Structure 1
Amino acid sequence: MADAIGQVLSLAVGVAISPVPIIAVVLMLATPRGRVNGPAFLAGWLLGLAVVGTIVLVASNGAGATDSDATPATWVSWLKIVLGVLLVLVAVRQWRGRPQAGEAGTLPKWMQAVDTFTPGRAVAMGVALSAINPKNLLLTVGAAAAIAQADVSTGDEVVALAVFVVIGTLGPGAPVLISWFMGSRSREILDGLKAWMGMHNAAIMAVLCLVIGARLAGDGISGLGS
């Protein structure tokens, strides 16, 4: 189980450090429904990661993620290489789209409407940003494939996936915890976090995708050579 958890830690951190969802939660917390919509968004985020991870894990096990001698299946290694290359391409796109000196960072237009969100829409947005967002989807697929490749028991796979989901939720979950435990004092902290992440969103995403993409591709190449 330790090997399976070790395989997904960096991928989970990559999911957790996602500026747009963190900013979305901060904005939701500042609305009249913030005390409900913030946790509702987190529920959707958890659900999205868990569902995608479970589907890929079941499919990987069904397709045979390891060979009879417990070595990684060739297709899993190729999958890691493809995921790694895709993440590197996302990194390049993010870096090219970063704001130049003196320009303000751009954020999705839907964020302007967060004050009108119902709890149901907050849940749906959490699912969309965790499960459908390209970067998170690639990381979750990679994590589930890595767990299946570790050749551990079903119970250990469930634990490893749960660890991935929990760690991947720490980023958007942090503003909610700050709001709960610090009350009115949290506003200054959250506003500062929102401003910093909004300004550096593209650079953060580019570095994360580049590092994790290189790691996945490297793992895949090593698997082909074993």
Structure 2
Amino acid sequence: MGAAIGQSLPVALGVMISPLPIVAVVLMLSSAKGKVNAFAFLLGWFVAVGGVALVVALLAGSGADDDGAAPAWAAWLKIVLGVLLLLVAVRQWQGRPRAGTEPPTPRWMQAVDTFTPVKAAGLAVLLGAINPKNLLLVVSGGSTIGAAAAGDTTVSVVAAIVFAVVASIGVALPVVVYVSTGDRAGKMLDEMKAWLVGHNAVVMAVLLLVIGAKMLGDGISLL
């Protein structure tokens, strides 16, 4: 179990510091239904990330040998994921806003004020399990868990839960700041949002590059 959790932890940290989901929570906290929507987003994010990671982990570990060795296709899956992550990292870096230019604002950011808890949870699922960049990261984490768990369902379930918990720390942080600091939260969260929006492309490029290189190396080592 330790191997499944430990090997997937770097990927979980990458998901944890993905900027846009954190920005979504910050925006929700400044809306009329701030706390309710933020908690709905947090729950949706946890379920989406944990669910995808668990499904991939179970699939990746389903073909394990009797001695617990991961199937050959799991190694190739890691290699493919690593290459995809590296390609997306390059694209993110090339698309980063140049100095003095404002990054484009996603449409959903403009509609956050009108969100209901259901829409907030739906956005969490969209960003955590459908958005290509985060989906690649979560699938990478799930495949890492599956290869290390080697078909042990209990290990896969526990490791996926731990993965989801760690991956949710980033979106939980603004809620903690909001609850613990009261009136002072507004300025802190605004500064956090501005930095994350401005540096989203660079942060994601670095994350995808590091995790992509890790996945590629892990896959090659399994062959």
Per the shorter chain, which TM-score range? over 0.9
The residue aligned with 2:99 is: 101
The residue aligned with 1:142 is: 140
Letter in 2 for 1:208: L
Secondary structure of 1:105's counterpart equals coil
Letter in 1 for 2:141: A
**Structure 2 alignment gaps of length 5 or more:** none
8 Å CA contact retained: 1:106, 1:198: no
The residue aligned with 2:108 is: 110
- Tell me, in whole angstroms, the C-alpha distance in 2 between the residues paired with 1:46 and 1:57: 16
1:157 aligns with 2:156: yes
1:121 aligns with 2:119: yes
The residue aligned with 1:206 is: 205
* Post-superposition CA distance 1:103-127 (Å, at most 9, x none): 1122312101100001110010011
What value does the CA root-mean-square deviation take over the aligned residues? Answer: 1.3
* Post-superposition CA distance 1:125-177 (Å, at most 9, x none): 01111111112211222222221211274322221111100000011111011
TM-score (structure 2 length as normaliser) = 0.95
The residue aligned with 2:18 is: 18
* Post-superposition CA distance 1:175-206 (Å, at most 9, x none): 01111111111111111110111111100000
8 Å CA contact retained: 1:81, 1:221: yes
Deviation at 1:68, TM superposition (A): 3.2
The residue aligned with 1:173 is: 172
- The equivalent position to 1:82 in structure 2, one of 80, 86, 89, is 80
Letter in 1 for 2:156: E
The residue aligned with 2:43 is: 43
The residue aligned with 1:56 is: 56
* Post-superposition CA distance 1:38-74 (Å, at most 9, x none): 1011111111112212222232233x1x333333321
Label 1:136 to 1:108 Cα distance change in 2 as closer, same or farther (>3 A): same
Which aligned segments of 4 or more residues in structure 1 are displaced greater than 6 angstroms? none
- Tell me, in whole angstroms, the C-alpha distance in 2 between the residues paired with 1:82 and 1:76: 10
The residue aligned with 1:190 is: 189
8 Å CA contact retained: 2:57, 2:147: no
1:3 aligns with 2:3: yes
TM-score (structure 1 length as normaliser) = 0.94
Letter in 1 for 2:70: P
8 Å CA contact retained: 1:45, 1:127: yes
Letter in 2 for 1:67: D
